[in-house]
Chains A and B, each alone.
Chain A
Amino acid sequence: MITVDSLTKTYGGFTAVDDVTFTARPGRVTGFLGPNGAGKSTTMRVMVGLTPATSGGVTVCGRQFRDLPNPGLEVGVLLDASAQHAGRTGREILTVAQRTMGLPKSRVDEMIDLVSLTSSEADRRVRDYSLGMRQRLGIATALLGQPEVLILDEPANGLDPAGIRWMRDLLRGYANQGATVLLSSHLLHEIEVIADDLVVIGNGRIVAQGAKSDLLATAGTLVRTPDVTALAHALTVSGVAFTKSAATGGDDVLRVEADTDVVGRVALEARVLLLELRPAEGAGLEEMFLELTSDTQRETVIEGAAA
């Protein structure tokens, strides 16, 4: 269980994390989603005590991270796979962590096997590792102490498709055993296939959170027509709410807050030609993500960021 409570972190006049509150629950994979620079990594660094919070705070397993007696046995952390001493071998990095936690020596080899590093790769120095190998080593370090909470910042970075699939199964297995898994990503599809719960952040603020199924269920219907004006009129008359679809970009698409059969019937009665009619959730999180973050995205907030 990770509880983030009204967390704010400012750097001078810049607010990196702005009053963020959410909970990552046991037995679930919580996806922490946001565009670059949204405050995901800062939030995660505050969680594990590497960055002091300006106000608010985080508890992990019911207490502040710094009060955990042997944090490696309770919380597995991977913040940056490249943050390792380049002159140590992979095996040595795991051994240092294993000794710090006071675990049996055999755990090191178990972890090397688990993340599919070969024995000769494990004996190479980390400066000669690819990003994918560093990522596997970082995951091995995080899992070493069999923790009940995992905090992983962009763990899929640098992994090949098979590696991403492997990691997804691994994290799912962990959550199914009752662990709390929090992972961040800016890659929507990655999060979409694994997360149970979502926390979407943009410019330091949470813009949406909840169960993935709930968030997707509210997405409604996408409808494309050559005669937008007529359809809009018909929908208004029928009392169905709709908006122009931001994510699909086309002028001829409406996102309607009703099921496909309702929209189809309205169009039929108004004799409006439809080119496309489908549940908006088919467009997946991308629709939601772009929509939710469109007013906080990098491209559109240059004046906001300067403030």
Chain B
Amino acid sequence: MSFQVDEQGYYGNFGGAFIPEMLYPNVEELRSRYLDIIADPVFQAEYDALLKDFVGRPTPLFKAERLSAKYNTKIYLKREDLCHTGAHKVNNTVGQILVAKRLGKNKIVAETGAGQHGVATATVCALMGMECIVYMGAIDIERQAPNVARMRMLGAQVVAAKSGSQTLKDATNEAMRHWINHPVDTHYIIGSVVGPHPYPDMVARFQSIISAEIRTQLQEKEGRDYPDYVIACVGGGSNAAGAFYHFLDEPRTALIAAEAAGKGVNSGHSAATTFLGKSGVLHGSKSLLMQTEDGQVIEPYSISAGLDYPGIGPMHAHLFESGRGKFYGITDEEALVAAVECSQLEGIIPALETAHALAVFEKLQAKPNEIVVVNLSGRGDKDLATYQNRLKLND
């Protein structure tokens, strides 16, 4: 079975390009050109140089000794939190802004939830001298004030998405509408492995640097280029796609995804799409989607704004349906416990999203000689207010 996208833009039963005709010329231009653009050696050299000198790659693969001792296995942390801007998101925005340049675009539009993708987009736009507009849910603008300030300091225009539930889903709708209204000069940098084909594949390719480095680094440290488990959190799923990418066809590696179960999978306050969703179309692709019986999209809930999305990338829906990926639902409380544990055992404060992946150790029961790699997708500075509040750090 293939886990890569097919000619029609599908991963098994999921994917495609369900877009209005107004977006067809843009998406078709991207589809017909992205592979050639990425394969061009000049592009590759420019992308690699920016990842090295601007982003700070390769990121370390760190043996977490005290976590390993606690769970009686070998745990490695892939330190995406050390990327410039504090998360893996920038791997994709560096790649896409180079694609945008080659498509002759001089304006960028993006959506953001917690603000990490917005900051990563504003950062590369500043670097390349491109105009940047970021749509963000009005509610998220309020609860993620530091990232809003970062984007504005970088010169981006942050626009409040006031429709619907005023969070990530609606910010994505607004970014798509902006693109419909500005089809000629603007490129839309989607932040996750969602959206119409070829976005899920293109974003996965730009994030695949994560698993490429894991292979090389494991070879050096362990004498083999694959782990027994790769664990990553999944909202839309871009960091997971990058961490899984080079192991998709490696049967010795189990692919483990941590979804946000919020207050519990069946609590009515959850974002665990593989548990609660069914096949549907949102934001240009067919995938698993949390929705009512009538097909209206349900607003999910998670303590983590980055996992607060009612869908999941089509690649992940296929990994789930085919059984290739194993999905865990991690509650807010479990994530908070794991965040404290990683902070106090390893000296690394993880993002709340990442904490969901770290909470899987408890459930995994890996053997002592097995190798577990967890993608430490982002750092926790942006979540300090939540940590302060929920963990009573100021009392």
Is the pairing of A and B real? no
Partner-B contacts on A (CB < 8 A): none
